[in-house]
Structure 1
Amino acid sequence: MGRPRKPIEELEHGTVARYRRGCKCEPCRAANRDRVRDHRWSASARTTERANVEQLAVRLDPEAPVPTIDMSAEPGPIERAIVDDLGDLIGSPPWKRTASAILRLDARVLDQAAGVDRLDLLSPMQIRAQEWMKLLRSVSGGPDLSVADQAAQLLKDLAGGDGGSE
Structure 2
Amino acid sequence: MADEATTNETTTAETDEVPNTAAESSTGPAGNADAGSVDDTAAELERLRAQLAEVAPIVQAHQDAEEARKTDEQRLREALEAAERERDEAAQVLMRREVADETGLPPTVVDLLSGATKDELLAAAKEVAAHTKSRVGARPAPKVGGGKDAVKTEDDIDPVALARAIAKRARF
Query: What range is the shorter-chain TM-score in?
Result: under 0.3
Structure of higher CA gyration radius: 2
Structure 1 or 2: more helix by fraction: 2
Normalising by structure 2, we get a TM-score of 0.25
Normalising by structure 1, we get a TM-score of 0.26
